[in-house]
Structure formats: C-alpha cells, structure tokens
Amino acid sequence: MAKISKNINYKTIILSITILGLLAGGSFASWQNYNKDKQIKILEKQINDIYAGSQQYSKDHPQFLGETSQTPETMKEPFSINGIIIADKKHPLPKDYNPGENPEAVKQLKKLIEAGQKSGDKYASHLVYDYSGFRSYDYQIGVYNEYIAQSGQQFADDFSARPGYSEHQTGLAFDLRVTGSILYRGDDKTYDYYNDWVAQNAHNFGFIVRYRDQWQNSTGYKGEPWHLRYLGQTLATDVFKSDKPLEDYLAISGGNYTKTF
Ligand SMILES: [Zn+2]
C-alpha cells in the first residue's frame, strides 16, 4: 500500500512537473511570438521611416534624382527608370530620338476609345479615332511656336512642351479628341478627375491621365484631361491607385524647366 501510494505520489510529481513545464513552455512560446511581432513592428517602422526619409530626401535633393542639366542637343539616351522613359521639363529627350508611335500603345488606345464610345458616358461616348500621338522633335518646333504666336510664351509653356521635352516624342503619349476634333473635355470647365470616365478607366488599358491642375508643381503642366501616357496595365494601375503624378510615384525631380529663357 505504501509502495503504491509512493508510486502515485512519484507519478503525480512527474505529471505536475510535466504540466508546469508545458505551461511554462507555452508561455515561453507566446512570449517568443510576442517578441517576434514586436520585432516585425519595429522593422516595419524602420522601413517606413526609411521610405519617408527617402521621399523627403528626394524633395530636398532633386539633383540626385535624375534631373539632368542636359539639353535635347546633348542627351544621348532618353532618361529612364526601370525601363520607364521619362520626358518632362527636367528630362529632355535626345533631339534625334525618333521611335514613332508605339504599336502596343496604339492597340490599347483603340480599345480604350472603343470602350469609351460604348460606355454611354456623357463625354467619353463622343471619343473619336483622330487622336494626336507621336510628334518628332522637328514637328514639336512648329507646335510650340504656334502656341507662342497665338497666346504667348507663358501659355505655351503651361500647355505645350518645348521641342525635345514633349512626352509625345516618346511615342507613348496620346491626346484624345471628341467629335469635331475637339480635345477631350477641353471645353468642359467642370472636369472632375474622380468622376471622369477616361480618368477612372484608362489604367485598365495601360494608360494614366498624366496632367492634373493640382499636380503642376510635379508635372510642370496645367491639367490636360485629354493627355494619356502609356505605361502598360500593371504599372498604370499601380500609378493610378497611388493617386500621384508620375514624377512623385517614381520619386524623381519634376516641375518647371531648369533654364527659363
Ligand atoms: Zn498631349
């Protein structure tokens, strides 16, 4: 009897120790998990800080972010990031860069125009095929000078690009027109990006609406509801969702010409 009870006591002690051990182990595991979560949170914060820091750095040091002091005459290759060609007032294209209309972009543009026509939307349903696409350096000389002749240099610089600085020279930019060869929404004072059919659907076809009034500090241009830039569907969708101008999305310098003359 004494032997049995001794055995039971022995077993009870072993069992208790095991249970306590398991409990302690469990607590240790959850403490470890807690620590892991905490470490992940710290890492996430560090990454966010670095990202925020780099964004601020971009703003403070535009000279390190692709702003070029070159001109169309001195540029050898277009400026690009991850294969995305940039043409804006800080990034001219080489004078002789002459790729012509990008066939994939045109294919998608036609799909977009067709979808707009069928959309039943008040404005987009009037889209027509006579868009304005690729413009060579030489052609842009004429466009820019025409703007100056008609409305002066300030107006020309707000709406048109100097030769070598036009996104149209990339073959990836297109101006949409509606019936009567009028620029899409060009005559509509109530243009609202968030309610606009083209602005809200272009990314499905690989395009972004490149210029909005509130983005002029980054893009260098006043709003142009008609001007689309082809980026391919994945990137266009990401840029669209970011709700940022392309320059900010890529964290590169933008805005006005370095040299004003
Ligand atoms: Zn345009």
Final residue before a domain boundary, out of 30, 60, 90: 60
Ligand 1 centroid – CA 144 distance (Å) = 12
Examine residue 144 and state whether it is found in any structural domain, yes or no: yes
Cα 74 to middle of ligand 1, angstroms: 24
Nearby residues of 79 by Cβ (< 8 Å), 6 or more positions away: 66, 68, 85, 86, 87, 91
What distance in angstroms lies between residue 173's CA and the mean position of ligand 1's atoms? 6
Whether the full predicted model's pTM is greater than 0.85, yes or no, is: no
Where a domain ends, among 60, 86, 102? Answer: 60
Give the Cα separation of 161 and 193 in Å (integer): 22
Which of 4-18, 33-47, 52-66, 71-85 ranks highest by mean pLDDT?
Answer: 71-85
With H, G, I as helix, E, B as strand and everything else as coil, classify residue 120.
coil
State both tokens at 96: 């002789």
SS percent in the chain: helix, strand, coil, step 5:
55, 10, 35
Report pLDDT digits (tens) over 212-230: 999 999 999 999 999 999 9
CA of 119 to the centre of ligand 1 (A): 23
Ligand 1 center–CA 96 separation, angstroms:
20
Q: Which of 7-11, 130-134, 233-237 has the lowest mean pLDDT?
A: 7-11
Rounded Cα gap, residues 97 and 12, in angstroms = 86
- Of the candidates 39, 60, 81, which is a domain's last residue? 60
Domain with 202 in it: 66-249
Give dist(CA 202, CA 209) in Å, integer.
7
Ligand 1 (single-atom ion) residues, CB below 5 Å: 175, 227
**pLDDT, tens digit (0-9, with 9 covering 90-100), for 86-99:** 999 999 999 999 99
Residue with the larger pLDDT of the pair 176 and 38: 176
- Same domain for 205 and 245, yes or no, is yes
Over range 133-147, report the average pLDDT.
Answer: 93
**What is the Å distance from ligand 1's center to 175 Cα?**
5
β-partners of residue 45 are none
Please give the C-alpha separations between residue 13 and each of 10, 25, 116, in angstroms, as whole numbers: 5, 18, 79
Same domain, 104 and 203: yes
pLDDT in tens, 182-198: 999 877 888 999 999 99
The better pLDDT of the pair 257, 105 is held by: 105
